[in-house]
Structure 1
Amino acid sequence: MTTNENTPATTRLPEHTPRLNFAKLVPEFYRAMIRLETASHDGVEPSLAELVRIRASQLNHCAYCLDMHTKDALAAGESIERIIQLSAWEESKHYYTAREIAAIELTEAVTVLTDGFVPDEVWEKAAAVFDERELAQLVGAITVINAWNRLSVTCRNVPGHYTPGDHAG
């Protein structure tokens, strides 16, 4: 038996409706977020920044930001293999550089604060491969994507409609 687009097994579920349009309702706050996003780009390599954004978005279950940042990463030349393996990076370390692994570990520690702090060993690994300014910039980039994730998840932004380069955030 074959199925087609019209059978119940292959019919897509409808999209959910966003709760609110944050940019329209609080434009000054949204513009401030855009300024933070722009500032977070300074001093972090674009490919590394996208890996950080994708990993934080995976941890925060933010489908909207995952859609955006995987598309941006692919458009910028990132490999699909590295994006796919990112959620299992501990078993796929050979796909990444030491700097990328340190940034991914730091992203996880900053994003998931279950212990209430970033462990010293994670910080020390990152400090060994990033200078102090790069490390501060990386922490800023991680903080900004976590803020975007929380806004998008709360507002129920709908994934699937983003075109690479449309906007920051």
Structure 2
Amino acid sequence: MATVTTNTDAPNETVPAPEQRLRMPGLAPDFYQAMIAVDRASRQGLDPVLAELVKVHASMINGCAFCIDMHATDARKNGEQDHRLVSLPAWRESPWFTARERAALALTESVTLLTQGHVPDAVYDEAAARFEPAELAQLIALIATINAWNRIAVSTRMSPAAK
């Protein structure tokens, strides 16, 4: 079992990482390979930094530690800065994001939290004003895909500590 170090009352104390329930690649290999293909297709034509911001933000909303860790790491590799990553939960109050990124983040929230008001026209219209139709379609595909990955990782208890 993997362990992670926590910074609580006893900073040197280790806490066991959650035990992974299933390993999807071996148990549902065709599905898993299809998800990888969908993931690859969903990113086409999108700026890699924007794509990783969207993935980190959706993963934060969904509480997916595995995906937050993976996509924050990927974002940094693409040149993203830490202060922007840690500001994602407060992107509306942060000066670090462009109008285009804000439209993508708002759309990410609406699609991710679909049962909380669906996707309001104002959110969709702002995204449509900032992205060409093909880009907007890819952005929606990316948001849907990361939400699927989050559900896989959370339900099977994938852990970033298992690296």
Q: With structure 1 as the length reference, what TM-score do the two structures score?
A: 0.88
CA distance in 2, matches of 1:14, 1:117: 37
AA partner of residue 50 (structure 1)? E
Q: Which has the larger radius of gyration?
A: 1
Tell me the residue number matched to 1:120. 121
Aligned to 1:167: none
Aligned length: 156
Distance 1:14 1:29, change over 3 A: same
| CA contact 2:107–2:127 (8 Å) conserved in 1 | yes
Higher relative contact order (Cα pairs below 8 Å, separated by 6+ residues): 1
Change (3 A) 1:9 1:132: closer
Alignment partner of 1:10 is 2:17 = no
Partner of 1:131: 132
Match of 1:30 in 2: 32
| Distance (Å, rounded) in 2 between the aligned partners of 1:133 and 1:118 | 18
Distance in 2 between residues matched to 1:71 and 1:158, nearest whole Å: 14
Change in 2 beyond 3 A, CA 1:80/1:8 = closer
Displacement of 1:158: 1.1
Q: Which residue of structure 2 aligns with residue 102 of structure 1? A: 103
TM value normalised by structure 2: 0.91
AA in 1 matched with 2:149: W
Q: Which runs of 4+ in 1 moved over 6 A?
A: none
Q: Which runs of 5+ in 2 are unaligned?
A: 1-6
Q: Residue 160 of structure 1: CA displacement?
A: 3.2
Residue of structure 1 equivalent to 2:71: 69
